């Protein structure tokens, strides 16, 4: 007997899977665009040119002007005060500073005393070898000005404060810490006594401006200072 013909189909290699429709492929390619959370950002590279020698010199000059701005202000205030250039409009220097610059008495004298300290630092800090960063505002010198230390000691304080700040410009708090340590190390007894009569020498103390040659009686003796009752 003849066998009935087989109904099985022949399997041709490579033809077992049906090709995906083109529409499905395009949908996959556009899936990123259909996602509202994604975005394409184009970044344009910009070439940064190095500073020329002239630009570098100008930069240094401008930086120094910014750093010395408070010094120039203090020097100007000092000359205005010492030459009494305010006298045509104001009775006192303090009133003039308040009306003209909106400076309180303490703010004006802090700028002046900080300028004096800055000039002392310029004289006594080493200028050979490693350059030591200089102060950039009067707040960094507030405690040095109030401590009334010798100029050479002021320079030593600033140098130690710079080292403590990692060879950067120290904050006023760091300067105060160094001032306190030095004062404790060099502590000397106050030589004045209650009831002692003395003559005032203002020097750079803003609290004694205009009181040169006043005489007074010591009414209280502190660790580093005295309180006196004065008479003209």
What is the distance between the alpha carbons of residues 183 and 189, in angstroms, rounded to a whole number? 12
SS3 letters across the chain: CCCCCCCCCCCCCCCCCCCCCHHHHHHHHCHHHHCCCCCCCCCCCCCCCCCCHHHHHHHHHHHHHHHCHHHHHHHHHHHHHHCCCCCCCCCCHHHHHHHHHCCCHHHHHHHHHHHHHHHHHHHHCCCCCCCCCCCCCHHHHHHHHHHCCCHHHHHHHHHHHHHHCCCCCCCHHHHHHHHHHHHHHCCCCCCCCCCCEEECCCCCCHHHCCCCCCEEEEEEECCCCEEEEEEC
Domains of the chain, residue spans: 57-185, 197-231
pLDDT at residue 16, rounded to an integer? 47
Q: Phi/psi class of residue 203: alpha, beta or left (left: φ > 0; alpha: ψ in -120 to 50)?
A: left
Q: What is the pLDDT of residues 110-151, one digit of tens each?
A: 999 999 999 999 999 876 545 789 999 999 999 998 887 889
Query: Model-level pTM?
Result: 0.59
- Residues contacting 226, CB < 8 A, separation 6+: 190, 192, 218, 220
Q: How many CB atoms neighbour CB 70 within 10 A?
A: 21
From 132, 126, 130, 161, select the one nearest 144 (Cα to Cα): 161
pLDDT above 70 coverage of the chain, percent: 76
**Residue 79: what pLDDT?**
95
Which residues, given as ranges, of the chain have pLDDT below 70? 1-37, 127-130, 186-189, 203-207, 223-224, 232
């Amino acid at each position: 007997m003849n066998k009935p013909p087989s109904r099985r189909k022949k399997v041709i290699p490579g033809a077992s899977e049906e090709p995906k429709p083109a529409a499905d492929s395009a949908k996959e390619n556009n899936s990123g665009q259909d996602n509202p959370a994604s975005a394409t950002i184009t970044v344009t590279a910009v070439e940064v040119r190095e500073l020329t020698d002239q630009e570098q010199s100008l930069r240094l000059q401008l930086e120094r002007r910014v750093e010395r701005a408070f010094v120039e202000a203090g020097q100007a205030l000092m000359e205005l005060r010492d030459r009494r250039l305010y006298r045509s409009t104001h009775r006192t220097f303090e009133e003039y500073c308040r009306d003209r610059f909106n400076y309180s008495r303490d703010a004006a004298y802090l700028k002046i005393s900080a300028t004096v300290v800055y000039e002392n630092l310029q004289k006594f800090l080493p200028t050979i070898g490693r350059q030591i960063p200089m102060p950039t505002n009067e707040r960094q010198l507030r405690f040095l000005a109030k401590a009334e230390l010798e100029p050479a000691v002021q320079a030593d304080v600033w140098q130690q404060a710079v080292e403590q700040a990692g060879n950067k410009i120290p904050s006023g708090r760091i300067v105060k810490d160094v001032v306190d340590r030095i004062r404790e190390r060099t502590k000397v007894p106050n030589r004045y006594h209650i009831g002692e009569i003395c003559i005032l020498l203002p020097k750079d103390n803003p609290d004694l401006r205009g009181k040169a040659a006043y005489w007074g009686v010591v009414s209280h003796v502190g660790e580093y200072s005295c309180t006196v009752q004065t008479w003209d």
